[in-house]
C-alpha cells in the first residue's frame, strides 16, 4: 500500500540517473537501472547464448558423425546405431548435460524469485538487491528474464517511481510473454495505476481497455475496479463512476478496509457532482468509518491515489 500518493518522479529519476545496473553502490545494496535499450539487449544476449549452445550441440554431433564416417557416405540415422564410437557417445551425453546445465540457471533463478517477491512489500530496496543479483545470471530463458523485469516494475511501483514502473511494464508487455503470460494482468494493472499517477490518462485508458479483455482473478478484478473508478472520477465521468453502484459497493466491500474507504470517498465526489447529496452523505459517512478522517483528507488531497496494486503473488 503506497502511503504517500504524491508523484515524485523527477527526484526519483535524478537519484537513479547516475546508476548503471545491476551494480553495487560502494559495497551497498545492488541496484538496477532500466532503459528500454538495455532490456532489449539483455533479451538478445540470452537468446544468442542459448542458441549458440544448441547450434554447437548439433554441429558437434554432425561433425563427429562426419569424422567417424570420413570417406564413406553418411547415414545420419546410423549415427544413433552401432557405428557410434564411445567417444562420440560421450560427447553427445556431455552436450545434453551442458544443455541441462544452461536450463538449470533459469530454474535456479525461477526458484529464487519467490523470496524476492516476498521482500517487495516489506523492503523494496532489499528486494532490488536480490533482483539485481538474479539479473546478472546468464543465459536465462526469455520468460524467466521477463518475470525478473515484472518484479522490477513491482519494486519501482512500490518505490513510487511510477514513470519507470510504467516504462518497464510497457517494455515487458511489448514482448511475447510465453509462460510468463499469467503476469499480464498484473503488468496492465501496474501500468494503469502508474499512468494515473503520472496523469497520463491516455496510457491509463489503454491499459484499462486491455484489462477488460483479460481473464482476471477476483483480486485483480477488485484492483481494476478501484483504478477504473479513480480514472472515471478524475476525468469527470461521474455517471459512469456511479453506474451499477450496488454491485460496485458489493465488490468494494471485499477490498481491504482502506481501499474500500477510498472507493467510497471517490464515489462521494461523483455523487456530489451529479447532485445526489443524500447518497454522497451516506457514502461519506461510510468512508469515514472505513478510513478515518486523516486518511480521507490525505486521499482527497492526493486525488484518491490509493496504490491498489500490491506486489505480485
10-18, 75-83, 150-158, 227-235 -> range binding other proteins (CB under 8 A): 75-83
Judged by CB under 8 A, which stretch of 116-124, 185-193, 223-231, 285-293 contacts other proteins?
Answer: 285-293
Query: CA-to-CA distance for 237 and 225, rounded, in angstroms?
Result: 14
Q: How far is the CB of 260 from other proteins (least distance, A)?
A: 5
Print the binding letters for residues 233-272 with other proteins: x by CB under 8 A, - otherwise: -----------------x--xxxxx--x------------
Q: Does the footprint of other proteins cover residue 157 (CB under 8 A)?
A: no
Q: Which residue, 105 or 260, has its beta carbon nearer to other proteins?
A: 260
Using the rule CB under 8 A, which residue among 1, 62, 93, 118 binds other proteins?
93
We find the least distance from the C-beta atom of residue 90 to other proteins, in angstroms, to be 9
Question: Judged by CB under 8 A, does residue 218 bind other proteins?
Answer: yes
The stretch near other proteins (CB under 8 A) out of 18-26, 27-35, 82-90, 157-165 is: 82-90
What nine digits make up the cell of 203?
Answer: 496510457
Closest by alpha carbon to 207, among 238, 228, 234?
228
Segment holding 23, helix H or strand E: strand 23-24
Query: Which of 246, 311, 231 lies closest to 283 in space, CA to CA?
Result: 246
Residues 236-273 as b or e (16 or more Cβ within 10 Å = b): eebeebbeebeebeebbeebeebbbbbbbbbbbbbbbe
The strand pair at 30-31 and 23-24 is best described as antiparallel
- Please count the CA atoms within 13 angstroms of the CA of 86 that sit on its side-chain side: 0
DSSP H or E run through 24? strand 23-24
Grid cell of 1 as nine digits: 500500500
Among 1, 96, 115, 201, binds other proteins (CB under 8 A): 96
Q: What residues make contact with other proteins under the rule CB under 8 A?
A: 80-82, 84, 89, 93, 96, 217-218, 250, 253-257, 260, 282, 285-286, 289-292
Amino acid at each position: 500500500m503506497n502511503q504517500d500518493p504524491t508523484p515524485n518522479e523527477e527526484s526519483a529519476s535524478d537519484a537513479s540517473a547516475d546508476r548503471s545496473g545491476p551494480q553495487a553502490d560502494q559495497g551497498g545494496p545492488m541496484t538496477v537501472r532500466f532503459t528500454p535499450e538495455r532490456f532489449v539487449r539483455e533479451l538478445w544476449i540470452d537468446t544468442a547464448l542459448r542458441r549458440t549452445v544448441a547450434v554447437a550441440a548439433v554441429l558437434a554431433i554432425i561433425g563427429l558423425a562426419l569424422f567417424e564416417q570420413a570417406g564413406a557416405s553418411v547415414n545420419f540415422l546410423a549415427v544413433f546405431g552401432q557405428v557410434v564410437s564411445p567417444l562420440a557417445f560421450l560427447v553427445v551425453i556431455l552436450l545434453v548435460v551442458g544443455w541441462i546445465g544452461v536450463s538449470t540457471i533459469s530454474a535456479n533463478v525461477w526458484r529464487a524469485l519467490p523470496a524476492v517477491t516476498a521482500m517487495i512489500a516489506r523492503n523494496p530496496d532489499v528486494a532490488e538487491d536480490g533482483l539485481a543479483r538474479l539479473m546478472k545470471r546468464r543465459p536465462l530463458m526469455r520468460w524467466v528474464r521477463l518475470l525478473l523485469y515484472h518484479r522490477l516494475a513491482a519494486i519501482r511501483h512500490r518505490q513510487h517511481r511510477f514513470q519507470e514502473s510504467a516504462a518497464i511494464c510497457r517494455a515487458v508487455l511489448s514482448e511475447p510473454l510465453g509462460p510468463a503470460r499469467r503476469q499480464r494482468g498484473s503488468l496492465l494493472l501496474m501500468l494503469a495505476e502508474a499512468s494515473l499517477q503520472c496523469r497520463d490518462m491516455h496510457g491509463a485508458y489503454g491499459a484499462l481497455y486491455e484489462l477488460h479483455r483479460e481473464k482476471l482473478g477476483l483480486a485483480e478484478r477488485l484492483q481494476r475496479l478501484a483504478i477504473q473508478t479513480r480514472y472515471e472520477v478524475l476525468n469527470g465521468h461521474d455517471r459512469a463512476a456511479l453506474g451499477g453502484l450496488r454491485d460496485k459497493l458489493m465488490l468494494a466491500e471485499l477490498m481491504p478496509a482502506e481501499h474500500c474507504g477510498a472507493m467510497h470517498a471517490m464515489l462521494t465526489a461523483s455523487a456530489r457532482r451529479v447532485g445526489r447529496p443524500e447518497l454522497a452523505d451516506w457514502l461519506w459517512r461510510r468512508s469515514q468509518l472505513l478510513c478515518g478522517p486523516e486518511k480521507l483528507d490525505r486521499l482527497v488531497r492526493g486525488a484518491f491515489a490509493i496504490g491498489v496494486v500490491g506486489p505480485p503473488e
